[in-house]
Homo-oligomer: A and B are copies of this chain.
Amino acid sequence: MPEKDDGLCQQICDHPEVVDVVRQSMPQDGAQEELAQLFKVLGDQTRVKILNALCRSELCVCDLVSVLGMNQSAVSHQLRVLRDTRIVRSRKQGKNVLYSLDDRHIAELIRIGFEHVQEGRR
């Protein structure tokens, strides 16, 4: 019995047009690698905490150390990672270095991310 209805997927596998369309509309490898790199840097609890703090106020390193309750060295190392990825920016003021979010996208990614995880808690 030729129950053809059984599968979009059969058709895709047998007639790979859809696969071809998807493959050809995929972003370039380089862009996808950069995107993965961005998310990878966001994907660490210490860095998430730093960014959440910077969402609220520009802060110097010792402030972040105080807020996070962590080793100064650990915070500095992570700030370097965030700076190198252009997720935060820094400016000097006297002995201190003040950090802030680099651009509006970062706060938005965090906001949407929270929306997603909070929906999951239902």
Most chain B C-beta atoms within 10 Å of own C-beta, residue among A35, A103, A105: A35
Contacts of A2 in B (CB 8 A): none
Q: Which size bracket describes the interface of A in this complex?
A: 35 or more
Q: Are the CB atoms of A39 and B42 closer together than 8 Å?
A: yes
- Could you say which of B9, B27, B38, B58 contacts A52, with CB atoms under 8 Å apart? B27
**Chain A: residues with CB nearer than 8 A to chain B?**
6-10, 12-13, 16, 18-19, 21-23, 25-27, 31-45, 47-49, 52-53, 56-60, 62-63, 66-67, 86, 93-94, 96, 98, 103, 105-106, 108-110, 112-120
Q: Identify 24 residue pairs between A and B in the complex whose beta-carbon atoms are under 8 Å apart, listed by A's number.
A: A8-B93, A9-B94, A13-B96, A19-B67, A21-B56, A22-B56, A22-B57, A23-B66, A26-B49, A26-B67, A31-B117, A35-B113, A35-B114, A36-B43, A36-B48, A38-B113, A39-B43, A39-B44, A39-B48, A40-B40, A40-B44, A103-B116, A103-B119, A112-B112
